[in-house]
């Protein structure tokens, strides 16, 4: 249809994308061979066919396990370059890319190896693809606050290559408040702050409240359960805090796209955005996420434009650069 064409062509901004979640089975096999690792599947197609997620926890097991083949600086480069090339083909003009250093340092890969490989791919994408991208370092919330603080300290020599910090992994029993001191220190170091408040967790509303009152986030990842509370939507609106929603990811972990929530958030004037989260696992990059939403809720052209405007508006870019995209 005409709107599907428009969705494919519109210049895009992606703000919720885990680089570890872009590891396609084909690259996984290539890196496994390179590093002498034997995977428990005969080929990429069999690995892909084995994916079956029904909630956040079941997804996260395969996600952290799968990244074990990524080891050298060149591996991290190749991982990021594959995503950036794909994003470029979908007309992504700016991307903020999450990485999970502890998914690697916890298995003996040095922080510097991870960040140097990723950074080199970002620099090449800027030069060769005219795609700008920045890194956001996420703490794994099921590890301790002490380990997060140590990771924050390890990041400081690379401060100029990382624009902010986030919080991801298993939310159950791991509220944002657990990391209040870590986030306070991150802010003092000049990082911008975001945190996952995944869809339909047991304490979603309380976690969003903590993000505002105890962390002072600049953005919230997912966060659509704000709609379950009488006060939160108005407060997000007043404070200009955006939400990075991931429809196809939602469908995998909750069974539903939550497209009604996207429309309500748009109608309320909140800065809601659409993103892909872990596209290699959910089989949907940014364009496919927008098309899935369109199929479910019959997006208008104006809504598609608003979603991209919102993303560029809440992007962590210098004002002058942001204005160039708007």
Query: Least separation, in Å, of the C-beta of 321 and ligand HPA?
Result: 27
How many residues touch ligand HPA under the rule CB under 6 A: the total is: 11
303 lines the binding site for ligand HPA (CB under 6 A) = no
Integer Cα distance of 237 and 174 in angstroms: 26
Point out the residue whose Cβ comes nearest to ligand HPA: 168
Is residue 313 close enough to count as binding ligand HPA by CB under 6 A?
no
Q: What stretch of H or E contains 304?
A: helix 301-314
Q: Which is nearer to ligand HPA, 14 or 168 (CB)?
A: 168
Residue 155: contacted member of ligand HPA, Zn ion, none (CB under 5 to 8 Å, by partner type): none
Q: How far apart are CA 208 and CA 213, in angstroms?
A: 9
CB 102 within 8 A of CB 114: no
Residue 222 is labelled as binding a ligand = no
Q: Is 18 in the site for ligand HPA (CB under 6 A)?
A: yes
Q: Which residues pair with 135 in a beta bridge?
A: 97, 162
Q: Residue 199 or 265: which CB sits closer to ligand HPA?
A: 199
**Strands 132-140, 12-14: pairing kind:** unpaired
Q: State how far Cα 248 lies from the chain centre.
A: 13
Residue 64's binding partner, choosing from ligand HPA, Zn ion, none, with beta-carbon cut-off 5 to 8 A by kind? none
Exactly one of 113, 194, 249, 310 binds ligand HPA (CB under 6 A); that residue is: 249
Q: How far is the CB of 323 from Zn ion (least distance, A)?
A: 28
Q: Give least dist CB 277 to Zn ion, A.
A: 5
> What is the footprint of ligand HPA within residues 43-82 (CB under 6 A)?
56, 63
The site that binds Zn ion (CB under 5 A) totals a number of residues, namely 1
Distance CA 226, CA 265 (A): 10
- CB contact set of 98 (below 8 Å; sequence gap of 6+): 16, 17, 18, 19, 136, 137, 138, 166, 168
Closer to Zn ion by Cβ: residue 218 or 277: 277
Find the binder of ligand HPA among 14, 24, 134, 168 (CB under 6 A).
Answer: 168
207 is in an annotated binding site: no
Helices and strands (H, E) in the chain, number of each type: 17, 8
> Which residues from 267-326 bind Zn ion, rule CB under 5 A?
277
User: Counting contacts by CB under 6 A, is residue 21 touching ligand HPA?
Assistant: yes
CA 311 to chain centre: 13
Adjacent-strand bridge partners of 133: 95
278 touches ligand HPA (CB under 6 A): yes
Of residues 185 through 204, those in contact with ligand HPA by CB under 6 A are: 196, 198
Phi-psi region of 255 (alpha: psi -120 to 50; beta: other; left: phi over 0): left
Residue 161 CB partners (closer than 8 Å, separation 6+): 115, 119, 135
Which residues contact Zn ion (rule: CB under 5 A)? Answer: 277
Which residues contact ligand HPA (rule: CB under 6 A)? Answer: 18, 21, 56, 63, 168-169, 196, 198, 249, 277-278
Q: Residues annotated as binding site for Zn(2+)? A: 16, 18, 196, 277
Q: Residues annotated as binding site for substrate? A: 278
């Amino acid at each position: 249809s005409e709107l599907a064409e428009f969705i494919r062509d519109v210049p895009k901004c992606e703000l919720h994308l885990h680089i570890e979640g872009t590891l396609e089975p084909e690259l996984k096999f290539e890196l496994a061979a390179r590093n002498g690792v034997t995977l428990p599947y005969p080929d990429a197609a069999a690995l892909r066919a084995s994916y079956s997620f029904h909630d956040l926890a079941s997804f996260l097991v395969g996600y952290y396990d799968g990244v074990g083949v990524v080891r050298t600086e060149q591996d991290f480069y190749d991982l990021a370059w594959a995503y950036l090339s794909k994003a470029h083909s979908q007309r992504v003009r700016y991307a903020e890319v999450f990485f999970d250093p502890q998914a690697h340092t916890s298995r003996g890969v040095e922080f510097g190896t991870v960040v140097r490989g990723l950074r080199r791919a970002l620099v090449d994408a800027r030069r060769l693809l005219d795609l700008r991208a920045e890194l956001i370092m996420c703490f794994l919330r099921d590890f301790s606050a002490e380990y997060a603080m140590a990771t924050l300290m390890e990041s400081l020599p690379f401060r100029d290559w990382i624009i902010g910090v986030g919080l991801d992994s298993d939310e159950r029993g791991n509220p944002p408040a657990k990391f209040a001191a870590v986030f306070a220190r991150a802010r003092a170091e000049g990082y911008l702050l975001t945190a996952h408040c995944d869809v339909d967790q047991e304490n979603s509303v309380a976690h969003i409240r903590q993000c505002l009152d105890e962390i002072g986030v600049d953005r919230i990842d997912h966060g659509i359960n704000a709609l379950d509370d009488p006060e939160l939507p108005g407060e997000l609106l007043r404070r200009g805090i955006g939400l990075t929603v991931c429809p196809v990811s939602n469908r995998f972990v909750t069974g539903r796209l939550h497209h009604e929530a996207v429309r309500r958030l748009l109608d309320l004037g909140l800065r809601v955005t659409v993103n892909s989260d872990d596209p290699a696992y959910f089989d949907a990059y940014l364009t496919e996420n927008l098309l899935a939403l369109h199929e479910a809720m019959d997006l208008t052209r104006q809504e598609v434009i608003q979603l991209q405007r919102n993303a560029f508006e809440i992007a962590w870019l210098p004002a002058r650069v942001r204005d160039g995209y708007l």
